[in-house]
Amino acid sequence: MTVTIKDVAKKAGVSPSTVSRVLSNHPRISLETSRKVKAIMEDMGYTPNMMAKSLVSKTTNSICFSLPKPAEELFSNLFFMELIRGIVTQASRSGYDVLISSGANEKEELEAVSRLLKGRRVDGVILLYSRTDDAVIDFLESNDYPFVLVGRSDRYENILSVDNDNVMAAYDATNHLISMGHERIGFVSGPPNLIVSRDRLAGYRKALLNSGLEMRDEWIVEGEFLQDSGYRAMSFFMNLPNRPTALVAVDDMVSFGILRGLNELKYKVPDDLAIVSFNNIPLSELSSPPISSIDIGIYHLGYTASQVLIQNIKSPNHDVGYTNRFVIPHRLIVRESSMYSHAKNKTE
Amino acid sequence: MTVTIKDVAKKAGVSPSTVSRVLSNHPRISLETSRKVKAIMEDMGYTPNMMAKSLVSKTTNSICFSLPKPAEELFSNLFFMELIRGIVTQASRSGYDVLISSGANEKEELEAVSRLLKGRRVDGVILLYSRTDDAVIDFLESNDYPFVLVGRSDRYENILSVDNDNVMAAYDATNHLISMGHERIGFVSGPPNLIVSRDRLAGYRKALLNSGLEMRDEWIVEGEFLQDSGYRAMSFFMNLPNRPTALVAVDDMVSFGILRGLNELKYKVPDDLAIVSFNNIPLSELSSPPISSIDIGIYHLGYTASQVLIQNIKSPNHDVGYTNRFVIPHRLIVRESSMYSHAKNKTE
DNA sequence: CTGTGTAAAGCAAACGGTTCCATAAGGAGG
DNA sequence: CCTCCTTATGGAACCGTTTGCTTTACACAG
């Protein structure tokens, strides 16, 4: 049925080893033989059997992206997809295939990853970091499997990771508002156990401190990465006696909630309240007004994660410590939600 | 290093074949041996090498989802991700892994798919149908590889496919507007070469015909699955002397454009113009007003595609002709954009 | 003419399983 | 007590590649 290396060999009148060597451009193959064999391979439509290859080389040329619990949220979907696109694109350029695995919970995720790695189906794993303690990381680390974390962990020191500088990002976002003349700036945070929430909060604080602006606890509220959190935060802030004139929100979805609330109460953005948030999801420019947002380069995050992982697979010796953490640059996209109202029609 | 079947065999004092049989629950293995071997496998942390397994069984227990050209559009991202989730979930339940492949163009896609299939890296492929002529399908069909199409093709008759009944969906959407009392209903279509555009247009026509309502060519405009198309369509419609009171839009993104335009011109939805569209993306309920939409069950589409493909892989004889096309039910989600205005606060 | 070096190609083992065929042990039937 | 089954297990070939070690065939120096 399928044409194997032996069929080619027979037809070419050489041994299988010769064909194999032609395939891998072995130096000690005469040009003549090489050409002849190649022609015959082409002719017979030979494609190498990856399984057989993998069996002997103990390498699969594929990596696994472990999709966390199916978060039903809009943002997750957009985020994951961008990430996957980055990963797949890079991997494909490096000649690797990408396997998507997912588990309903940590236990399942561990089982899946373990099966894939121990069963030699993939060479390494890209993990999306969400938890603070992680059985999967423990497993990977203790078995010395190549992996890279998208995100940051404070518990694990010497592992490969790709992340944004969220402190700096929040610092930039806040400074932008400050530069627009705002002096009372609030912050809508995410779940406090997420490192990303903590980092962004820290950056916000740093910016205020740096500019000598007032910092009040009541100007910081915690929530989820969801619309509703924004909605609630908004109504809390707007009822404050000395309310903020601008808000930094930890995620664009939160901004949508804020926007909806302000809209209902007939407040104007950015005149009554300016807004900047994070992640720059495609919707950010579609809302009215469009929301200023920090683009964290999700695609790039995935692309780099794949690159780092594959390079680590190829030469595992490279973990020199100081290159373990790769930081993807962010950039602020200024839109109407944080512009001076009289500048509305001028920019963009 | 890794523990193989031979290591287990040696430790258990049996032959490798016996261990293999234990693994596959061969009937002619004594309970005693089975228990002993299983204990030892557990003990030594044995995991079967999938590559070796695949080599002899000529089967990989994995399928490929071929991601079309990276369409940068928002909807594509949401759609793909939902689809992937459906596919991965089902595949995982059936014990299959999912490999994501992508090519920048048709040629690359064909190469990738061909390499994966001929190289015996996957057992089958899920294709997302977009083109009308398809070298990939031709390749799969002529080589008799298992595959399933998400979408519909009019060129290929006897291939497995999973799709919605888009004619019926449009029929339902239009009838909904009719039942709300509208008599002049317009249609914003997608690219005419896409089957989905054609099907939905047909359903719209059918509904009008069925109700004996007027049908005008000027009430039908073509565009893309993009906001801008909606925006333009809107301004065209609103300038018509005898303009429609309701619109069926081929995609939610189009509705957003319509909404934006109406908003700018201070028109009210649904009072001045009612809207229903398709796909029910997560944003549909976030816009103001929320948009009525036909949910096409994307996750379900992916889930079923995987199911159908895997079942076809396992028993290829099953293609009986009349079960080749699987239709995923849609359902209309009525939201504010198509309700009577005085009912605004009553429902939902 | 023999010895040695080198380039090109072949042989066979190995990778980690599965499975057909053979074999040994025990029990039943004659 | 000897056959003949049955049942549980072992042996060995094979899946399609890769690769270390040989072998072959020259060419050239001594």
Tell me the mean pLDDT in the region B144-149.
94
* pLDDT of amino acid A1: 72
Name the pLDDT band for A74 (thresholds 50, 70, 90): low
| Apex A128 CA angle, A127 and A131, nearest 5 | 110
pLDDT, averaged across chain A: 90
Report yes or no on B50 lying in a domain. no
Q: How many CB atoms lie under 10 A from the CB of residue A192?
A: 9
> Does the pLDDT of residue B259 top 70, yes or no?
yes
> Does the pLDDT of residue B44 top 90, yes or no?
yes
Helices (H), chain B: 5-12, 16-23, 31-44, 50-57, 74-93, 106-118, 135-143, 166-179, 195-211, 227-238, 252-264, 298-314
Do the chains contact at B49 and A119, CB–CB below 8 Å? yes
* pLDDT of amino acid A103: 83
For the stretch A246-282, pLDDT in tens is 999 999 999 999 998 998 899 998 999 999 999 998 8
Give the range among A65-74, B167-176, B226-235, B261-270 with minimum mean pLDDT. Answer: A65-74
Report yes or no on A202 lying in a domain. yes
Q: Is the CB of B20 under 7 A from strand C?
A: yes
Whether B327 contacts B164, CB under 8 Å? yes
- Shared domain for B202 and B78, answered yes or no, is no
- Shared domain for A336 and A214, answered yes or no, is yes
- Classify the phi-psi angles of A212: left when phi > 0, otherwise alpha if psi is within -120 to 50, otherwise beta: left
The token pair at A133 is: 């303690």
> Does the pLDDT of residue A348 top 50, yes or no?
no
Q: Is the CB of B49 under 7 A from strand C?
A: yes
Report yes or no on B279 lying in a domain. yes
Do the chains contact at A51 and B120, CB–CB below 8 Å? yes
- Shared domain for A254 and A200, answered yes or no, is yes
Report yes or no on B55 lying in a domain. no
* pLDDT of amino acid A79: 87
Alpha-carbon gap, residue B207 to B88, rounded angstroms: 37
* pLDDT of amino acid A318: 63
Do the chains contact at B51 and A121, CB–CB below 8 Å? yes
* pLDDT of amino acid B315: 87
> What is the distance in angstroms between the Cα of A83 and the nearest Cα belonging to chain B?
11
Q: A8 contacts in B (CB within 8 Å)?
A: none
Identity of the residue in B48, B77, B97 whose CB atom sits nearest the CB atom of A82: B77
Do the chains contact at A99 and B60, CB–CB below 8 Å? no
Give the range among A33-47, A228-242, B118-132 with minimum mean pLDDT. Answer: B118-132
Nucleotides of D under 7 A from a protein CB: 7-12, 14-20
Nearest-Å Rg of the Cα atoms of chain B is 26
Domain of B16 in residue numbering reads as 5-44
pLDDT above 90 as % of chain A: 74
- Shared domain for A280 and A230, answered yes or no, is yes
Name the pLDDT band for A155 (thresholds 50, 70, 90): confident
Do the chains contact at B119 and A48, CB–CB below 8 Å? yes
Alpha-carbon gap, residue A291 to A32, rounded angstroms: 65
Q: Measured in angstroms, what separates residue A67's CA from nucleotide D21's C1'?
A: 47
* Amino acid symbol at B263: N
The token pair at A167 is: 């402190």
* pLDDT of amino acid A281: 87
- Shared domain for B100 and B211, answered yes or no, is no
Name the pLDDT band for A321 (thresholds 50, 70, 90): low
> Does the pLDDT of residue A342 top 60, yes or no?
no
Q: Which residue is nearest to nucleotide C10 (CA to C1')?
A: A15
> Does the pLDDT of residue B72 top 80, yes or no?
no
Bridge partners, residue B102, by sequence:
B67
Q: Is the CB of A16 under 7 A from strand D?
A: yes
> Does the pLDDT of residue A123 top 90, yes or no?
yes
Rounded to a whole number of angstroms, the distance between the first and last alpha carbons of chain B is 61
> What is the distance in angstroms between the Cα of A157 and the nearest Cα belonging to chain B?
27
Alpha-carbon gap, residue A60 to A51, rounded angstroms: 8
Interface test with B, best of A7, A62, A69, A100 (most B CBs within 10 A): A100
Alpha carbon of residue A337 to chain centroid: 26
Q: A2 contacts in B (CB within 8 Å)?
A: 118, 120
Q: Does B320 touch chain A (CB under 8 A)?
A: no
Alpha-carbon gap, residue B256 to B227, rounded angstroms: 6
Name the pLDDT band for B132 (thresholds 50, 70, 90): low
* pLDDT of amino acid A70: 58
- The residue written with tokens 């759609």 in the block is B79
3-state secondary structure A42-65: HHHCCCCCHHHHHHHHCCCCEEEE
Name the pLDDT band for B342 (thresholds 50, 70, 90): very low
Name the pLDDT band for A218 (thresholds 50, 70, 90): very high
Report yes or no on A51 lying in a domain. no
Name the closest residue on chain A to residue B253, using Cα atoms: A286
* Helix, strand or coil, per DSSP, at residue B106: helix
Nearest-Å Rg of the Cα atoms of chain A is 26
Name the pLDDT band for B321 (thresholds 50, 70, 90): low
Tell me the mean pLDDT in the region B306-321.
83
| B319 vs B257 pLDDT, higher one | B257
Written as one string, the DSSP assignment of A199-250 is: HHHHHHHHHHHHHT----GGGEEE--SSHHHHHHHHHHHHTSTT--SEEEES
Name the closest residue on chain A to residue B260, using Cα atoms: A288
Question: Which residues 280-309 on chain A approach chain B with CB closer than 8 angstroms?
Answer: 282-283, 286, 288
Tell me the mean pLDDT in the region B125-138.
82
**How many separate domains does chain A show?**
3
> Does the pLDDT of residue B56 top 80, yes or no?
yes
Pairing of strands A274-278, A246-249: parallel
* pLDDT of amino acid B285: 82
Half-sphere exposure at residue B248, Cβ-oriented, CA atoms within 13 angstroms: 32
Identity of the residue in B49, B97, B263 whose CB atom sits nearest the CB atom of A99: B97
Whether B114 contacts B303, CB under 8 Å? no
- Classify the phi-psi angles of B13: left when phi > 0, otherwise alpha if psi is within -120 to 50, otherwise beta: left
- Shared domain for B146 and B172, answered yes or no, is no
- Shared domain for B112 and B224, answered yes or no, is no
Q: Is the CB of A15 under 7 A from strand C?
A: yes
Identify nearest nucleotide to residue A28 by CA to C1′ distance.
C8
- Classify the phi-psi angles of B279: left when phi > 0, otherwise alpha if psi is within -120 to 50, otherwise beta: left
Bridge partners, residue A161, by sequence:
A149, A325
Do the chains contact at B88 and A67, CB–CB below 8 Å? yes
Name the pLDDT band for B58 (thresholds 50, 70, 90): very high
Identity of the residue in A51, A227, A286 whose CB atom sits nearest the CB atom of B54: A51
Name the pLDDT band for A226 (thresholds 50, 70, 90): confident
CATH number at residue A18: 1.10.260.40
For the stretch A282-293, pLDDT in tens is 888 878 789 999
Q: Measured in angstroms, what separates residue A30's CA from nucleotide C10's C1'?
A: 15
* pLDDT of amino acid B319: 56
Written as one string, the DSSP assignment of B107-158 is: HHHHHHHHHHHHTTS-SEEEEE---SS-HHHHHHHHHT--EEEES--SS--S
CATH number at residue B243: 3.40.50.2300
> Does the pLDDT of residue A341 top 90, yes or no?
no
Tell me the mean pLDDT in the region B196-206.
95
- Shared domain for B154 and B170, answered yes or no, is no
Report yes or no on A57 lying in a domain. no
The sign of the dihedral angle between the CA atoms of A35, A36, A42, A46 is: negative
For the stretch B204-227, pLDDT in tens is 999 999 999 999 999 999 998 888
The token pair at A285 is: 């420019």
> Does the pLDDT of residue A345 top 70, yes or no?
no
- Shared domain for A21 and A106, answered yes or no, is no
Q: Is the CB of A50 under 7 A from strand D?
A: no
Q: Is the CB of B32 under 7 A from strand D?
A: yes
Identity of the residue in B78, B121, B263 whose CB atom sits nearest the CB atom of A50: B121
Residue in A55, A62, A60 with CA at minimum distance from that of residue A125: A62
Q: Is the CB of A121 under 7 A from strand C?
A: no
Report yes or no on A313 lying in a domain. yes
- Shared domain for A212 and A286, answered yes or no, is yes
Nucleotides of C under 7 A from a protein CB: 7-12, 14-20
Question: Which residues 166-205 on chain B approach chain A with CB closer than 8 angstroms?
Answer: none
| Apex B323 CA angle, B317 and B324, nearest 5 | 80
- Classify the phi-psi angles of A251: left when phi > 0, otherwise alpha if psi is within -120 to 50, otherwise beta: beta
Do the chains contact at B263 and A120, CB–CB below 8 Å? no
Residue A42: exposure state from Cβ atoms within 10 A (0-12, 13-18, ≥19): exposed
- Shared domain for A292 and A316, answered yes or no, is no
Q: B54 contacts in A (CB within 8 Å)?
A: 51
* Amino acid symbol at A77: N
* pLDDT of amino acid A132: 61
Q: Which residues contact B218 (CB under 8 A, 6 or more apart)?
A: B240
Identity of the residue in A48, A70, A98 whose CB atom sits nearest the CB atom of B85: A70
Q: Does B37 touch chain A (CB under 8 A)?
A: no
Tell me the mean pLDDT in the region A101-129.
92
Do the chains contact at B49 and A260, CB–CB below 8 Å? no
Report yes or no on A50 lying in a domain. no
Alpha-carbon gap, residue B317 to A261, rounded angstroms: 58
> What is the distance in angstroms between the Cα of B207 and the nearest Cα belonging to chain A?
32
Do the chains contact at B98 and A99, CB–CB below 8 Å? yes
Alpha-carbon gap, residue A307 to A98, rounded angstroms: 12
- Shared domain for A339 and A221, answered yes or no, is yes
* pLDDT of amino acid B318: 63
- Classify the phi-psi angles of A66: left when phi > 0, otherwise alpha if psi is within -120 to 50, otherwise beta: beta
Q: Is the CB of B9 under 7 A from strand C?
A: no
> Does the pLDDT of residue A49 top 80, yes or no?
yes
Bridge partners, residue A147, by sequence:
A125
Interface test with B, best of A8, A46, A47, A50 (most B CBs within 10 A): A50
Q: A77 contacts in B (CB within 8 Å)?
A: 77-78, 81-82, 282
> What is the distance in angstroms between the Cα of A186 and the nearest Cα belonging to chain B?
24
> What is the distance in angstroms between the Cα of B314 and the nearest Cα belonging to chain A?
19
The token pair at A222 is: 């915690």
Tell me the mean pLDDT in the region B255-267.
91
The helix (H) or strand (E) run that includes residue A12 is helix A5-12
Q: Which residue is nearest to nucleotide C18 (CA to C1')?
A: B56
Backbone torsions φ then ψ of A148, nearest 5 degrees: -140, 145
Name the pLDDT band for A343 (thresholds 50, 70, 90): very low
